[in-house]
Structure 1
């Protein structure tokens, strides 16, 4: 369905807050999408030494692998806190602190992991099976941990010998290796854990090419080359300085001026301008995650607490949630807000996931039907909707487009902006009506579902609690057959589409801008820039 002339006119007068930076405004020819492969092919020699300044688009939450929930935090962790496993350029799972992929028993309930030997944490403490057990047990049991759902099937971690751990599971859990390739697999210095306790995130110590040196909240995070790193010879840079620059135009301008050498998550409206600068280049990552409107339908007492009634129009009425979704046009949002550089979709699973059935039938914009549903709901119009959004220009722009689209169907959307981490805290607490929030994505589909949409999930901000979601997601995690898992995920995502606790809008692509004299950066589909082999060419 084509957007109405009235909607086009309304969108045309929205403030183009992202325009500028070398002609990268939201009008004219869209930027050409850079290739993910570009990030793995720049193997020019780099010199030893130097400080790499990196612009982050938000201030991370606490740098504690057990409790952290932000993508920007994962970007810092990628260069400071290694995991048992990682992904490579092809999104295949590969050993990192583990010495090999896990050995799994026939019934899937015993998982044995061999570890690298001769490794030290960045404080000189030996890395061994006891340290792995300590971290995994903390991830599983600490009251503040956001990793509990990631490792829920793990009943016990046993030290077999100094270089081997065994995980005993309550049920077979196919996504385990994928979970151990993210924060649930990050291993922390046992000495630092003992000394810092709950405050570990203020001065984290892990195994990594760089070590934590300091943080100024809202301003910067500094990492220095780690002398005890097991592969220190390949690390060329002396220091990484992450600068918090929320405004996308300022981020792109600082890249252009040379104040920063790398800028993460370039706004799609600035990609073209950065590409046009002969001193800069852009590479792409991401695509595993999603972004959308999360609607509070049962988060009355906190995301991990028992679901309860929510006293908002959208929260109480499935009809209104359907009407709200029908008022939105995903393709127009992609073109208007993101220059067509994202991937419009209505599923939490990536477009190229082997666990997707045929593409879901995403709803098309239908204002007439949306109006009928609003009228049938019996709620007086305009229906009030409070939409929480991070306070960066891109999210504000998205909120404004949603506001204008929904208005035609009888909704009055008030946009409530806030600092990124504060918005997440409100989401966890259930202190919202609807919110713009996404998930950076994982290679196994369980990582895009369990924590976000199943009962008690740490990031289940909508408060969904339905056996039609919980049961197939749990069954799929215990299943190793791809076809059977695909069928189960199809069942779960159909129920998600009915409940509309999340109205999925698109899969994010991440665009990383760098100076042309920076080489050796690794940037994969997880959208995490890796700087272990990075440096300056001159």
Structure 2
């Protein structure tokens, strides 16, 4: 508990004792929100982040220039409004006035300039997201102008995530390399410390700029890698929200349970890469054969208990680019055999599929083994930690690689780097000029309907070339205590804590 709150706490207790305030009201004011995370966040600095668990914690510490609403639309945050020039190359942001960082220093246009320049540095993992900014002009304390080298339609969407999170320039300078352990933002909660692998503790920001927020006194993140352990802690009341929920328990909630399930569409996808730079997946007929042998609806039902949606594209229904390409193909063993024959693989072949270490993905792997067997394809399953998978993806040393994506609000961020020639996430080593040109065209187009038409064209090619086997779109799946009030679902799957109370 922050010492500054102790007199207030004593007052509340006196009011409860006098019958002037109910214990329930007192608890709602005084509560700490406990949230379980299935992974231990690494670096608490948005410029160095690569994990969704980190994004969960960031939402409490850092505000962004803009945010998302429940429909995935971009809404004001630290930028209260903005304008875009007719040529779509100049963005002028008009900032909230009177906002301070948690260390008491002012948030202003100079702070925005500092953060965006820092995000462009070679050491920053945000540099590719911000690479199109060529000039930053501080017009006055509350106005900043950003000039891009080229029109870039996803730009504002990028600012709803880590690239748009604002750190205190003074704190960054003070802590240097150790800022990753001393984060300071303008957000609703202040970082107080962590026990590595166990907890991260935040306390209420008493000077938060949004009136009436935050509702809770603090947030404690508890690291629980086992989804069943987290579930048991939810049932017992030791945690209030779990960022994962056991699939088998979705339809098994007992009467009178003190928890509920948030089960709504997300922006992400799950599936596996095929290495197109090596036999047998250098032939697209082989890749297409694998694609049409997989019964995605069966996987969604058996493994995920309906908490995912069978897919065939990177675009879920939560994105405007979602289209007909997302409808999975019907299983067709005869056609798959014909494709293999055309590729010179009439007798079938074998390959290794590298999977995450979770039991759910192991079950998916076993189902894929059975689905490919009728066409003579033998699948060997191998488990690996995510870091190992990513390294083999970058090096191109794998055959099949099961790695999903948590999703981003703009379609570009779900497809571009995955399939353009030499894209940073293009572990399939795939590339065609036609797809490259279409996806670049989509980046330049400001009209949403026209952009969708371009994505539709690109997907017509990608569903035939099959560099990646899309299996499903995850739902946002949280367990939440019924005592928690003020929860707001956002399709990016990140828990906002400012409005939470219990």
TM-score by length of 2: 0.87
> Using the alignment, how far apart are the partners of 2:308 and 2:494 within structure 1?
17
Residue pair 1:209, 1:232 contacting (<8 A) in 2 also: no
Find the residue that maps to 1:473 and give its secondary structure. helix
How far apart are residue 381 of structure 1 and its match?
6.0
> Using the alignment, how far apart are the partners of 1:138 and 1:519 within structure 2?
37
Q: Which whole-Å deviations, capped at 9, do the CAs of 1:420-458 have from their partners, x for residues lacking one?
A: 444345434545332222222233222222233334443
How far apart are residue 122 of structure 1 and its match?
2.2
**1:313 aligned onto 2:313:** no
Residue pair 1:248, 1:266 contacting (<8 A) in 2 also: yes
How far apart are residue 459 of structure 1 and its match?
3.0
- Which of 471, 489, 514 in structure 1 is aligned with 2:437? 471
Residue pair 2:325, 2:463 contacting (<8 A) in 1 also: no
Residue pair 1:81, 1:207 contacting (<8 A) in 2 also: yes
Q: Which moved more, 1:389-398 or 1:209-218?
A: 209-218
> Using the alignment, how far apart are the partners of 1:348 and 1:70 within structure 2?
19
Partner in structure 2 of residue 258 of structure 1: 237
Q: Would the alpha carbon gap of residues 285 and 428 (structure 1) be closer, same or farther in structure 2, given more than 3 Å must change?
A: farther
Q: Would the alpha carbon gap of residues 280 and 492 (structure 1) be closer, same or farther in structure 2, given more than 3 Å must change?
A: same
**1:84 aligned onto 2:84:** no
Partner in structure 1 of residue 53 of structure 2: 72
Residue pair 2:32, 2:218 contacting (<8 A) in 1 also: yes
How far apart are residue 111 of structure 1 and its match?
0.8
**1:480 aligned onto 2:446:** yes
- Which of 100, 103, 113 in structure 2 is aligned with 1:123? 103
Residue pair 1:79, 1:531 contacting (<8 A) in 2 also: yes
Find the residue that maps to 1:172 and give its secondary structure. coil
- Which of 73, 91, 104 in structure 1 is aligned with 2:84? 104
1:307-456 alignment runs, 5 A limit: 310-311=277-278, 313-314=280-281, 316-351=282-317, 353-360=319-326, 362-378=328-344, 383-456=349-422
1:82-231 alignment runs, 5 A limit: 82-100=63-81, 102-140=82-120, 142-231=121-210
Residue pair 1:451, 1:459 contacting (<8 A) in 2 also: yes
Find the residue that maps to 1:47 and give its secondary structure. helix
> Using the alignment, how far apart are the partners of 2:398 and 2:171 within structure 1?
36
> Using the alignment, how far apart are the partners of 2:26 and 2:377 within structure 1?
56
Residue pair 2:265, 2:318 contacting (<8 A) in 1 also: no
Residue pair 1:60, 1:73 contacting (<8 A) in 2 also: yes
Residue pair 1:131, 1:190 contacting (<8 A) in 2 also: yes
Q: Which moved more, 1:517-526 or 1:45-54?
A: 45-54
How far apart are residue 504 of structure 1 and its match?
1.0
Partner in structure 2 of residue 288 of structure 1: 267
RMSD: 2.5
Q: Which whole-Å deviations, capped at 9, do the CAs of 1:10-44 have from their partners, x for residues lacking one?
A: xxxxxxxxxxxxxxxxxxxxxxxxxxxxxxxxxx9
Count of paired positions: 478
> Using the alignment, how far apart are the partners of 2:368 and 2:97 within structure 1?
53
Residue pair 1:347, 1:493 contacting (<8 A) in 2 also: yes
TM-score by length of 1: 0.82
How far apart are residue 103 of structure 1 and its match?
0.8
Find the residue that maps to 1:48 and give its secondary structure. helix
Residue pair 1:248, 1:267 contacting (<8 A) in 2 also: yes
Q: Would the alpha carbon gap of residues 394 and 144 (structure 1) be closer, same or farther in structure 2, given more than 3 Å must change?
A: farther
For structure 1, the 5+ residue unaligned runs are 1-43, 298-309
Q: Which has the higher contact order (CA 8 A, sep 6+)?
A: 1
Residue pair 1:59, 1:421 contacting (<8 A) in 2 also: no
Find the residue that maps to 1:449 and give its secondary structure. helix
> Using the alignment, how far apart are the partners of 2:319 and 2:411 within structure 1?
8
Q: Would the alpha carbon gap of residues 487 and 290 (structure 1) be closer, same or farther in structure 2, given more than 3 Å must change?
A: same
Find the residue that maps to 1:346 and give its secondary structure. coil
Residue pair 2:271, 2:402 contacting (<8 A) in 1 also: yes
Q: Would the alpha carbon gap of residues 483 and 124 (structure 1) be closer, same or farther in structure 2, given more than 3 Å must change?
A: same
Residue pair 1:291, 1:438 contacting (<8 A) in 2 also: yes
Q: Would the alpha carbon gap of residues 241 and 428 (structure 1) be closer, same or farther in structure 2, given more than 3 Å must change?
A: farther
**1:497 aligned onto 2:463:** yes
Q: Would the alpha carbon gap of residues 442 and 395 (structure 1) be closer, same or farther in structure 2, given more than 3 Å must change?
A: same
Partner in structure 2 of residue 243 of structure 1: 222
Partner in structure 2 of residue 4 of structure 1: none
Q: Which whole-Å deviations, capped at 9, do the CAs of 1:308-333 have from their partners, x for residues lacking one?
A: xx44533x232221122122111111
Q: Which whole-Å deviations, capped at 9, do the CAs of 1:131-182 have from their partners, x for residues lacking one?
A: 1112112223x22433233233222222121211111112222221111111
Residue pair 1:123, 1:205 contacting (<8 A) in 2 also: yes
Q: Would the alpha carbon gap of residues 404 and 166 (structure 1) be closer, same or farther in structure 2, given more than 3 Å must change?
A: same
Q: Which whole-Å deviations, capped at 9, do the CAs of 1:270-321 have from their partners, x for residues lacking one?
A: 2223465521111234422211112233xxxxxxxxxxxx44533x232221
Partner in structure 2 of residue 11 of structure 1: none
Residue pair 2:325, 2:456 contacting (<8 A) in 1 also: no
How far apart are residue 352 of structure 1 and its match?
5.2
Q: Would the alpha carbon gap of residues 130 and 488 (structure 1) be closer, same or farther in structure 2, given more than 3 Å must change?
A: same
Q: Which moved more, 1:108-117 or 1:425-434?
A: 425-434
Q: Would the alpha carbon gap of residues 189 and 287 (structure 1) be closer, same or farther in structure 2, given more than 3 Å must change?
A: same
